[in-house]
Amino acid sequence: MSPKPILSTLLLAASALVVPPLGAAGKEPITPIPPARVTHRAMVELGKQLFFDPRLSRSGAISCNSCHNLSMGGTDNLKTSIGHNWQQGPINSPTVLNARFNTAQFWDGRAVDLKAQAGGPIANPKEMASSHALAVDVLQSIPGYVAAFRQAFGHDRLGIDEVTQAIAAFEETLVTPNSRFDKWLKGDRKALTKVELDGYRLFKSAGCVVCHNGPAVGGNSFQKMGLVAPYLTSNPAQGRVDVTGKEEDRLHFKVPTLRNVALSYPYFHDGAAATLTEAVDTMARVQLGRQFSADENAKVVAFLKTLTGEQPRVSLPVLPPSTEKTPRPRPFEQP
């Protein structure tokens, strides 16, 4: 299919989304983020410990929080992350905040949910470079963890299934409600400035909402990077095709959430856009076939900054100490 019919389809869909008056109750393509509800506190607390524990890595120096830093918008603000032995990661680390709303995890969607995703970095030789068996051995050697797993799960099994389930339970709570835009959606007409509202109108009329919609403002579909114009990058990632094997899925990536996007720079799967201004310009050109003026770009950026919500207030856990039986970290060994 040529770019023009694709663009026409996008704009038609966008127009269908923007027919209702701005701010009409229940008619906006974006919905507020609901606050987290903790139903299993012991499991969430265990998952928090595991999320911050570098002993799940071979080096004893890399934790989940290393690449998904909760003090930095759930990312590491690097083009691609730093893994075991200072290896350069292959792709930009997406934010963990509001990841519960994603249709799948990772840029190519190879993990169906947070639980499936949690086990990937532990055994990835370019990331934490451990193995599931070694990570479990470490945890089983620590009495404090054995007791915490028993309390969370009600049995004495401590395997990778329990590990990833606990991490996912904690990550489920990492949501960011009550952004200024959410307050506007809920009826606070003073929550946004005129420039920000103009940016939202343009965001809708230009067709951005076709892909960036729902509570996470994205994360719920896969789209081709470079829909109407080629996206030039040296990054080798091929996207969804690596999962499905279908040629039509080449260069299709999960649409990222725009929640807290002002905090989660740099942008795109290759981390090529350092700023929101650059990201908006690129998206307009390669996805929509448009060239925003400087004023239009600034208005969209102003709107995007209103999507920053309340950041999770997470107290650092005190991790249970290792014992004589705990496998020792090996920070300088090749995986």
Residue identified by tokens 């949501």 is 175
Q: b/e for 116-126, b at 16 or more Cβ within 10 A?
A: ebbbebbbbeb
Find the catalytic residue in 127, 162, 196, 296.
127
Which residues contact residue 80 at a Cβ distance below 8 angstroms, ignoring those fewer than 6 apart?
88, 89, 90, 91, 92, 93, 270, 271
What gap in Å lies between CA 40 and CA 206, rounded to an integer? 43
Task: Note if the bond before 5 is cis, omega within 30 degrees.
Answer: no
Angle subtended at Cα 104 by Cα 315 and Cα 51, rounded to the nearest 5 degrees = 20
Cα-based distances in Å from 156 to 140, 148, 160: 10, 10, 13
Q: Does the annotation mark 127 as catalytic?
A: yes
What gap in Å lies between CA 9 and CA 227, rounded to an integer? 12
H or E segment at 224?
A: strand 222-224
The set of catalytic residues is: 127
